[in-house]
Structure 1
């Protein structure tokens, strides 16, 4: 049975929420009183910018879409899948079908915000209601405000307020699966293949979406040591919404306060992006830092990208990133600090490189982390605090296990000398930052 042209329907638009369980927007759509058609759009605005045509993230999304479709078909329902430009697709859908309501979950990135505003305008012309729900965070935008009624820009007081407010109401799951009987019964056409969209299948071994109680129990003491398999690797699942943040937060609350803090950091950076959208468009959170006179040395940047700096912890991190699309969080801080402070290369270039390579790339967290390392963001390390990559390696990889795994030539004549002296780099950085801040003041 094909999609009816005249029957009033509700559409649920999947984006960063690729699951049928505990899905806020899907839940509200299924309770709307209209038969529901789930929709996913492979967005050419995003896909056309990806240079790697074997990008594992595209394969991951494609696989999850196939899984959702199989699940829906067991219920005689289907997933409508389009490939193209969202505004053009919504114009076609609104002309072709009798859409009473559209539901989706909020995406806080600048591109998504603008896209949703334009989709709203398209639907409004047809008197179609467009409802956007909170799903990928526990608290969004202005749900947690300081005593001055303004968004928090420092993590510690934000996290205290977050924990005080996070009661059962906010952490409860949406029983969306319970109402799947309200899906429209229909069968859609075959979905666009990866090849049709210009991509190749990636044989990447994606990490599990499950976080064990054992891992959470050891998380606080083991998470900073990159040689240990002591982090959850759940970033890609949070990024594309294949896990519920509410379920994760409940589990973290029960088993690991330190892991819970990591989830709160995620909410924190999302509300920073929502309340200060300029950071998502290349601006420093602390505007004075936009006065820094960065070096731009193509060869130095390339050396950093390839992990050939002569600082083994930095090199191990960059090679891990290049090989598997993941880098341990402690090492992310060290590599980011090295680029922005040792090499005095604009943090935005590093941010863009991470965006290209990280499987779990998320604009809010990536931008927040890079600005923290560069000193220009919220909660930023003071500009005069400059990580010593050698001391960091001695402390967090004392046996050199992580380094040896990713830099096998370390300790041989093949391994390069440090590309820059730590003391010299530190003094150069302090001078450049001080000049910028003096100029701003």
Structure 2
């Protein structure tokens, strides 16, 4: 006999495996599975690329639920109003959901929980999208970690809750006149036809996520530390969009990686394999670190974590910003990264750091401008990670790269794209240049450029700034900020 009707409110946990809210709700209950599209309730809105991903992720979830003969209820509008309406229509007695930790979302969830509890609804929230509940990994003084390495060391000692399996069965009985809702009615796909491109690169949904994880964990993870900074190689997992929408459980990834580490540690002479796998686990924990920072300092989404940077003399330069966005800066490594982003909705992490540094240091444009562009064009946009990444590059976050460390896009190319394969792929106008000129085409003799049909300023743009001059200007701005702070 079914105990009660429980609404399971899907959000950024679009999976059946290790979904605690779903797992607990399906224990002898009638379950109503719901997704509510409420973009205005998000802290910084939602970008077009991530909405494309959401559309296809919801479609994949619907298909997976067909195996259980259960519909996914789709609605658009105020989360509170929609939930109250569904409770009324289905006579539901409980609401279960996975916790989210973005400031505005967290506040909204608390308001909904308080209201429904007063109305006699059993509201339960579950932690299953991160390894650790934000704020629980603290130092000996009980304070939040501001530096990642000690956070990582402490996290390694923490107990990660074991993942739960998929439900064996889901019972979902709806009133005969209840409207399920259609995916297209949510209006997730923008006027810009992202799908023409993205379908070639991505397979959203839980099944795609676990297929990608299986392939990566069987081989590439054992070369991860050696190859993760080389953008021309398939050295990273590319699981970030799946993680952003909760299509795969980090706890499952953690335990499977730990099992692999335990096996490797017992094999003689396997220290390098251990290092490779552990390096990947560090990146998984870095994602947790971003959420710990977000919960502890919620203002970081639009304010510098270090107060001194409130006085930084950022420049307004619309033309320079547009050239950066479109991959037309004249610096091939920067342009390759920005074009990869526009084409695929994703960018290699090493290149993210270099392109972001170029914006805030070479061009002196506020990091919020870059964060907004990434938010609109990344299929893996995640508020905590995007914010932390930009504050790290800008030097305004904790455990950040010092502002006075200015990446040289030429040397970075020579170091991480040694043969120019990445640049040649994304900047075909200069693909025939010899390696010695591929990262700085303006240094090529005019004869070489003419022979290859390259005319700087026409077939490929002149560089937007001189690196040396831009570096000096950035350092002057930094010291100006410090003087203002000390006045």
TM over 0.5: yes
Q: Deviations over 1:302-345 (max 9, x none)?
A: 11111111111111001111111111100000000000011111
Q: Quickly say closer, same or farther: Cα 1:70–1:391, change in 2 above 3 A.
A: closer
Does residue 319 of structure 2 align to residue 274 of structure 1? no
Q: Which residue of 1 aligns with 2:105?
A: 112
Does residue 240 of structure 2 align to residue 235 of structure 1? yes
Q: Which residue of 2 aligns with 1:3?
A: none
Which one of the candidate residues 327, 335, 342 is aligned to 1:322? 342
Does residue 307 of structure 2 align to residue 287 of structure 1? yes
The CA distance in 2 between the partners of 1:232 and 1:198, in whole Å, is: 26
Q: Quickly say closer, same or farther: Cα 1:66–1:305, change in 2 above 3 A.
A: closer
Does structure 2 conserve the Cα–Cα contact (< 8 Å) formed by 1:279 and 1:367? Answer: yes
Q: Quickly say closer, same or farther: Cα 1:104–1:306, change in 2 above 3 A.
A: same
Does residue 217 of structure 2 align to residue 197 of structure 1? no
Does residue 36 of structure 2 align to residue 41 of structure 1? yes
Computing the radius of gyration from Cα coordinates, the structure with the larger value is 2
Q: Quickly say closer, same or farther: Cα 1:249–1:373, change in 2 above 3 A.
A: same
Q: Which residue of 2 aligns with 1:405?
A: 425
User: Aligned runs of 1:158-169 on 2, under 5 Å?
Assistant: 158-166=151-159
Does structure 1 conserve the Cα–Cα contact (< 8 Å) formed by 2:49 and 2:378? Answer: no
The CA distance in 2 between the partners of 1:190 and 1:364, in whole Å, is: 32
SS of equivalent residue, structure 2 residue 139: coil
Does residue 339 of structure 2 align to residue 349 of structure 1? no
Q: Which residue of 2 aligns with 1:340?
A: 360
Unaligned runs of 5+ in 1: 1-6
What's the RMSD between the two structures over aligned residues? Answer: 2.4
Which one of the candidate residues 399, 418, 427 is aligned to 2:472? 427
Q: Which residue of 2 aligns with 1:11?
A: 7
Q: Which is further off, 262-271 or 421-430?
A: 421-430
Q: Quickly say closer, same or farther: Cα 1:323–1:233, change in 2 above 3 A.
A: same
Normalised by the length of structure 1, the TM-score is 0.91
The CA distance in 2 between the partners of 1:407 and 1:432, in whole Å, is: 31
User: Which contiguous aligned blocks of 4+ residues in structure 1 show a shift greater than 6 angstroms?
Assistant: 49-52
Q: Quickly say closer, same or farther: Cα 1:230–1:56, change in 2 above 3 A.
A: same
Alpha-carbon shift at residue 148 of structure 1 (Å): 1.4
The CA distance in 1 between the partners of 2:405 and 2:59, in whole Å, is: 47
Q: Quickly say closer, same or farther: Cα 1:420–1:395, change in 2 above 3 A.
A: same
The CA distance in 2 between the partners of 1:198 and 1:238, in whole Å, is: 19
Q: Which residue of 1 aligns with 2:272?
A: none
Normalised by the length of structure 2, the TM-score is 0.82
Alpha-carbon shift at residue 190 of structure 1 (Å): 4.5
Q: Which residue of 1 aligns with 2:481?
A: 436
Q: Quickly say closer, same or farther: Cα 1:43–1:218, change in 2 above 3 A.
A: same
The CA distance in 2 between the partners of 1:51 and 1:124, in whole Å, is: 29
The CA distance in 2 between the partners of 1:158 and 1:288, in whole Å, is: 24
Does structure 2 conserve the Cα–Cα contact (< 8 Å) formed by 1:344 and 1:429? Answer: yes
Alpha-carbon shift at residue 439 of structure 1 (Å): 2.1
Alpha-carbon shift at residue 93 of structure 1 (Å): 2.5
Alpha-carbon shift at residue 137 of structure 1 (Å): 0.4
Q: Deviations over 1:29-68 (max 9, x none)?
A: 224x532221111224269x9798xx45334323332333
